A and B are shown apart, each in its own frame.
Chain A
Amino acid sequence: MTAGIYVSIILFAPVVAFGLLAVAAPIRERGTLAGWLVAAATGATLWAALALFFGQLSDPQTLEWTIRWMSGGSADFAQVGWRVDGVSAGMAVVVSLVALCVQVYSMEYLADEAPGSRGRYFSWHALFVFSMQSLVLAPNLLQLFMGWELVGLCSYLLIGYYWRKPEAGKASLKAFWVTKFADSFLLMGLVVLVAATGSFSWDLPAGLSQGTITAVAVLLFIGAMGKAAQMPLHVWLPDAMAGPTPVSALLHAATMVAAGVYLIVRGWPVFEASETALTMMVWVGAVTAFSAGCLALLQDDVKKLLAFSTCSQLGYMMAALGAGSMAAGYFHLTTHAFFKALLFLTAGSLIHAVHSNNMSEMGGLRRTMPVTFGLFIIGAAALAGLPGVSGFFSKDMVLEALSHDAQWGPLVLCLAGVAVTAAYMTRAVLTIFFGEARGAHKAHEPGWRMLVPMLALGVPSLAVGLFVGDFQSLVGEPGYSATEMLSHFIGLPALGVLLALIGFGAGYAEFKGTKLPAPAGLGDWLRSRPMDRFYEAAWNRAVLVVARGVAWIDRYIIDAAMNLVGWGALAGGDYSRRIQTGRAADYMWAIGMGTLAVVAYGLLGGS
């Protein structure tokens, strides 16, 4: 079968499922049926994506098919369609695998919800898979942007799923607005690109000024910052945890936030050409990696901890890209998708068991939930970068890229981040699984519909690292295979592991009650959410002032002009009314002078 058919399955199966659920209410009302329908569609998507992926492995070439959507400017102005190459095929597999696992998991996680609500939930899942895949397979920036906006919409819908909870509604709006703010920069970047080159394609034509390239790259990166929750636009991601845990796993760990990184990977010719953008990326990424990790240390809510962890890991990806290694960023994206989704799903299993998000209400669960415990350990190890696990290879690639590009400042930050990551994960593991049980409920393992997806994600979390060589050939960069990396153990990899162990030790010590040296009050200040307060103040001062100014203009200038027109008409009418005096003498005068004027014109003027 040709690539085109596989792509059609990838795109049409989910959108057909969405369409059916949107239109046919009887199917939607039966939540379980809706769930299986969407899972089947996603399964078909996964099958087709795997076919494409293995096809790319054996025969790497770029396949593209486009059709013209709008005309204007040059011939290839606005095209839609698909592009399959190593990068997009790999991402398509990641998206569909994680989505399938999450959807099966959701069927049990949301079993207590009303069937109609579940139908609504699954229909949005179908829409999300379609949107994300059309973003991944986009042949140009225009379709990527369309998919981008659609996934933003799905995020809004899914975060607000528990609409009866006020914080869910506020969180979904906040996510929407912050990403929309960043998306305005993305749109500006798009406009500049189109104005300069006449098409949305990523291949840069020669002869563009450096200023234009930098402008486009920086604007696009700011858009990616919003979606990938980099500082300072990270504020929406912790709040987005108000949505159901499977949604957090799919959107806000593995795929949607990865779209920001994917944009940069896809548009690599543009970013590669701009030193300014790369420098910005590496510093923003490194700072986020470290500071989000520190924030994760302060969290009691396990989902918020994982959210900050996601911010931090995305920072690693951005730093890698900024250091010039597209492969490192993309590989870390892939491994992170698997282990972070696994961590979220296991967290969901814990939350489902103890009916609370807070780690302080969990404890000693390793005895009652062994499978969950094991899987959580796998995910935590991958996250911390312990040797042999997938996360080790990808994180090491990131660090290697930073040192290769001589980005010493960001490298220090990222290494510190390694220690912090290990520390918070250790604290989490110890608090949740060791010690005495603090929860009121009797904890137990979840059913097979939750366990099987978790296991399914556990495998790649462990094993994907071994395929690092194939990965690099996929993205077309030379590199070294897994065994080679293990043999280069001394140097950066060893430093990484050492720092992880330090972090492990710090976490263990804190768990045992040793107070660690830290500036007094820092924790409380960080907990008071300074960034959110800053944004709110800025909103009140700046934006509202402008809005009031505009309202003033609207009332006193525009409305006044309109009223002037109305008043003028009435006054004019009132004034002209006085011509009709009713006196015959005036009418005679008018007729006489008018006739005289006409005659004079005829005699003198017209000739």
Chain B
Amino acid sequence: MSTVPLQAWMLLAALIFSVGLAGLFTRRNAVAVLLSVELMANAVNLNLVAFGYHRGDLEGQVMALFGVALTVAEIIVGLALIILMNRTHKSIDIDSATELSG
């Protein structure tokens, strides 16, 4: 598979990241926003592994593993916050939390 150039993998990762970014600004459901964040993190990990493969050693894979663990931790806390938000605002619509409005 070494005929696939690094740029291809990088472009692919960038594309998935863009899709996740688009979803981040578009969705109103808090859980859907979390899904978009998940997509972006995934794209980053893909990028890292591709770099590692290209370099020829395992540094990229190690970083990707770290990234996976971090993303899991982030999802845990995010879900806890969604539960809290649901409790206080009775809704998981992110537009319902407007306390910071000026």
A and B associate: yes
Binding site for B on A (CB under 8 A): 577-585, 587-589, 592
Decide: B97 and A582 in contact? CB cutoff 8 A.
yes
- Cα separation A582 to B99 with both chains bound (whole Å): 6
B73, chain A: closest CB distance, angstroms: 20
Decide: A580 and B25 in contact? CB cutoff 8 A.
no
Residues of B24-74 contacting chain A, CB below 8 A:
24-25, 28
**Chain A residue with minimal CB distance to B28?**
A585
Q: List 30 A-B contacts (CB under 8 A).
A: A577-B102, A578-B102, A579-B102, A580-B100, A580-B101, A580-B102, A581-B98, A581-B101, A582-B97, A582-B98, A582-B99, A582-B100, A582-B101, A582-B102, A583-B94, A583-B95, A583-B97, A583-B98, A583-B101, A584-B94, A584-B97, A585-B28, A585-B94, A585-B95, A587-B100, A588-B24, A588-B25, A589-B25, A592-B24, A592-B25
- Cα separation A380 to B28 with both chains bound (whole Å): 111
Proximity bits, B77-102, A CB within 8 Å = 1, else 0: 00000000000000000110111111
Chain B: interface residue count, which band?
10 to 19
Q: Is the interface of B mostly helix, strand, loop or mixed?
A: loop
Taking A584-B94, A585-B28, A587-B100 as given, write out 5 further A-B residue pairs in contact, using a Cβ cutoff of 8 Å, ordered by the A residue number. Answer: A580-B101, A582-B99, A582-B100, A585-B95, A588-B24
The total of Cβ contacts below 8 Å across the A-B interface reads 32
- Cα separation A585 to B24 with both chains bound (whole Å): 8
Binding site for A on B (CB under 8 A): 21, 24-25, 28, 94-95, 97-102
The list of the 6 closest CB pairs from A to B, nearest first, reads A582-B101, A580-B102, A582-B98, A582-B100, A577-B102, A584-B94
A102, chain B: closest CB distance, angstroms: 78
In the assembled complex, which residues on chain A have CB atoms less than 8 Å from the CB atom of B25?
A: 585, 588-589, 592
- Cα separation A451 to B95 with both chains bound (whole Å): 105
In the assembled complex, which residues on chain A have CB atoms less than 8 Å from the CB atom of B102?
A: 577-580, 582
In the assembled complex, which residues on chain A have CB atoms less than 8 Å from the CB atom of B101?
A: 580-583
**Chain A residue with minimal CB distance to B99?**
A582
- Cα separation A580 to B99 with both chains bound (whole Å): 10
In the assembled complex, which residues on chain B have CB atoms less than 8 Å from the CB atom of A584?
A: 94, 97
- Cα separation A579 to B95 with both chains bound (whole Å): 15
In the assembled complex, which residues on chain A have CB atoms less than 8 Å from the CB atom of B98?
A: 581-583
- Cα separation A581 to B95 with both chains bound (whole Å): 10
In the assembled complex, which residues on chain B have CB atoms less than 8 Å from the CB atom of A579?
A: 102
In the assembled complex, which residues on chain B have CB atoms less than 8 Å from the CB atom of A578?
A: 102
**Chain A residue with minimal CB distance to B24?**
A588
- Cα separation A480 to B68 with both chains bound (whole Å): 125
**Chain A residue with minimal CB distance to B85?**
A584
A168, chain B: closest CB distance, angstroms: 67
B54, chain A: closest CB distance, angstroms: 22
- Cα separation A577 to B28 with both chains bound (whole Å): 23
**Chain A residue with minimal CB distance to B97?**
A584
In the assembled complex, which residues on chain A have CB atoms less than 8 Å from the CB atom of B28?
A: 585
In the assembled complex, which residues on chain A have CB atoms less than 8 Å from the CB atom of B95?
A: 583, 585
Decide: B21 and A592 in contact? CB cutoff 8 A.
yes
In the assembled complex, which residues on chain B have CB atoms less than 8 Å from the CB atom of A577?
A: 102
- Cα separation A301 to B50 with both chains bound (whole Å): 118
